[in-house]
Chain A
């Protein structure tokens, strides 16, 4: 079954914009896939995520979840934002338990679940602190589990580990993989890190900017659990890097291209 489907989606933030933020994007994500998205800054990755999250509407085309076109946030979708936007007036525990609280989970259960996930991202001991007392990376981890704790069937993540230190990032990547496998989730995961995209994803979507489009979808067939040092995987990473750089060249100034030829 198709969990997520974008059908010829284009998005302009304002009618006056000369260019679409994303244009003619079609992407279907079957149940249980882990799709990672790579692309230069400003190519529309967050835009796509917000469309799938039901936070904004496409200018053209349709966004469907479980076969139905959406007009707002869906209950089975969890979103991890690029900016964790923790509520500054709540403690970390209470931030992590926000979704549970909004859906009427009693305090005891909330606390227990929140603490379990807080442990998962190595934030034990910080439960009673306020967001401003944490580093950027710590806040991002708290933002990540604020979503994971609700156990959504579909997970949308926008560079969830961008500000997290290297070693913690590796361990959280593995936690995400384990959770994805155990709970049979469908994941859309945006990242800047090619290695991360390949290590995590069953598919890697490459995007180009101006306007934001999907340039290629690459299958990553290595079985899980994967080995970070698998030469075949590292080879794929470098192939993707080459593609990205070629894509970047295509957008180099016209004059320079002309002179070369």
Chain B
């Protein structure tokens, strides 16, 4: 394991490395060795970023993307967690439907895109549906496996206390599935961003994905770079928000999952 000091000096060196890389890129591209149409100089990207800010196009489009993502993700989370728990409780439902869900999950979602266009057009809802499709299955399967793998001994304890089905779900299965649910939510925060950007790039008139394909169509490579950085930051921030949420509200569920009883023998 690295000591704190070592890892700090490592970080410093990594930052230096990035700066050197940017400076070299700047010099090489400014020197005309690489066509600026393919690769903009870092400084040009910064200038373009300022231009975007002054044109006031980033915030409004970011907001559109966030709304599409947020609604789609919320639907996926509610459906995924809800159905995941239902499947975990009713083995018959699980046995019957899971193969179909697995099959649906394996469909490359992008291939459904044209169909969605025909069904619901290219508006806001289409992006929402895409995000839901991109994220639902991960949340669903993670919840289902988390809830159905509830430690048998926890269930025994609840059974001898004659917990109702409802109590079994809300006081035993859901809490014990929390870490697994959050694993699903974390992964899908990033996947959902991919989904919404993809959908916006295909057909839309707003959102970061729209700006991206628009900039590319105009060969505005500096702007393409600005947007790539932006959507990356967006994905990272969303994942961080999920992490934060889990840490603040479900701290105890998380840090204790590895507890095993020392006297467990069965």
> A217 in the interface, Cβ–Cβ < 8 Å?
no
> B56 in the interface, Cβ–Cβ < 8 Å?
no
Q: Can you list, as one digit per residue, whether each of B99-115 has a CB less than 8 Å from chain A (1) or not (0)?
A: 00000000000000000
Q: Is the CB of A89 within 8 A of B157?
A: no
Contact of A55 among B151, B156, B164, B253 (CB under 8 A): B156
Contact of A53 among B151, B160, B167, B252 (CB under 8 A): B160
> A18 in the interface, Cβ–Cβ < 8 Å?
no
Known contacts: A87-B154, A98-B157. The answer to whether A82 contacts B162 by CB under 8 A is: no
Q: Bound state CA distance, A240 and B24, in angstroms? A: 85
Among the stretches A70-78, A106-114, A171-179, A228-236, the one at the interface with B is: A70-78
> A32 in the interface, Cβ–Cβ < 8 Å?
no
Q: Bound state CA distance, A36 and B163, in angstroms? A: 28
Q: Bound state CA distance, A77 and B162, in angstroms? A: 10
A residues less than 8 Å from B259 (CB atoms): 88, 131-132
A residues less than 8 Å from B151 (CB atoms): 85
B residues less than 8 Å from A85 (CB atoms): 151, 153-154, 156-157, 261, 264
> A81 in the interface, Cβ–Cβ < 8 Å?
yes
> A203 in the interface, Cβ–Cβ < 8 Å?
no
> A61 in the interface, Cβ–Cβ < 8 Å?
no
Q: Which of B128-168 contact A (CB under 8 A)?
A: 151, 153-154, 156-164, 167
Q: Bound state CA distance, A55 and B164, in angstroms? A: 15
Q: Can you list, as one digit per residue, whether each of A115-133 has a CB less than 8 Å from chain B (1) or not (0)?
A: 0000000000000001110
> A40 in the interface, Cβ–Cβ < 8 Å?
no
A residues less than 8 Å from B256 (CB atoms): 88-89, 130-132
Provide the main secondary structure of the chain A interface: loop
Known contacts: A83-B266, A102-B167. The answer to whether A139 contacts B160 by CB under 8 A is: no
Tell me how far the C-beta of B244 lies from the nearest C-beta in chain A, rounded to whole angstroms.
Answer: 19
What is the chain B residue whose CB lies nearest that of A147?
B160
Size class of the B contact interface (CB-based, 8 Å)? 20 to 34
Q: Is the CB of B157 within 8 A of A163?
A: no
Q: Is the CB of B160 within 8 A of A55?
A: yes
Q: Is the CB of A163 within 8 A of B252?
A: no
Q: Is the CB of B261 within 8 A of A77?
A: no
> B171 in the interface, Cβ–Cβ < 8 Å?
yes
Tell me how far the C-beta of B173 lies from the nearest C-beta in chain A, rounded to whole angstroms.
Answer: 11
A residues less than 8 Å from B266 (CB atoms): 46, 82-83
Q: Bound state CA distance, A87 and B262, in angstroms? A: 14
Tell me how far the C-beta of A219 lies from the nearest C-beta in chain B, rounded to whole angstroms.
Answer: 29
> B70 in the interface, Cβ–Cβ < 8 Å?
no
> A9 in the interface, Cβ–Cβ < 8 Å?
no
B residues less than 8 Å from A208 (CB atoms): none
A residues less than 8 Å from B164 (CB atoms): 102
Q: Is the CB of B161 within 8 A of A99?
A: yes
Tell me how far the C-beta of B259 lies from the nearest C-beta in chain A, rounded to whole angstroms.
Answer: 4
Tell me how far the C-beta of B80 lies from the nearest C-beta in chain A, rounded to whole angstroms.
Answer: 21
Q: Is the CB of A162 within 8 A of B176?
A: no
Q: Bound state CA distance, A81 and B154, in angstroms? A: 11
Q: Bound state CA distance, A72 and B162, in angstroms? A: 9
> B257 in the interface, Cβ–Cβ < 8 Å?
yes
Tell me how far the C-beta of B150 lies from the nearest C-beta in chain A, rounded to whole angstroms.
Answer: 10
> B178 in the interface, Cβ–Cβ < 8 Å?
yes
Q: Bound state CA distance, A150 and B172, in angstroms? A: 19
> A195 in the interface, Cβ–Cβ < 8 Å?
no
Q: Is the CB of A82 within 8 A of B252?
A: no
Q: Bound state CA distance, A46 and B264, in angstroms? A: 12
Contact of B163 among A81, A84, A86, A102 (CB under 8 A): A102
> A211 in the interface, Cβ–Cβ < 8 Å?
no
Q: Is the CB of A81 within 8 A of B252?
A: no
B residues less than 8 Å from A30 (CB atoms): none
B residues less than 8 Å from A99 (CB atoms): 161
Q: Is the CB of A81 within 8 A of B262?
A: no
Q: Can you list, as one digit per residue, whether each of B75-117 has a CB less than 8 Å from chain A (1) or not (0)?
A: 0000000000000000000000000000000000000000000
Tell me how far the C-beta of A216 lies from the nearest C-beta in chain B, rounded to whole angstroms.
Answer: 25
Question: Beyond the given A136-B261, A150-B161, could you list 6 further A-B residue pairs with CB under 8 A, ordered by the A residue number?
Answer: A87-B175, A101-B171, A102-B163, A102-B164, A130-B252, A162-B263
Binding site for B on A (CB under 8 A): 46, 50, 53-55, 72-73, 75, 77-79, 81-90, 98-99, 101-103, 130-132, 136, 139-140, 146, 150, 159, 162-163
> Which 3 A/B pairs are nearest by Cβ-Cβ distance?
A136-B262, A88-B256, A85-B153
Can you list 20 A-B pairs with a CB-CB distance of less than 8 A?
A46-B266, A73-B159, A79-B160, A81-B156, A82-B263, A82-B264, A82-B265, A85-B261, A85-B264, A88-B253, A90-B252, A102-B158, A102-B163, A102-B167, A130-B256, A132-B255, A132-B256, A132-B259, A146-B157, A150-B161
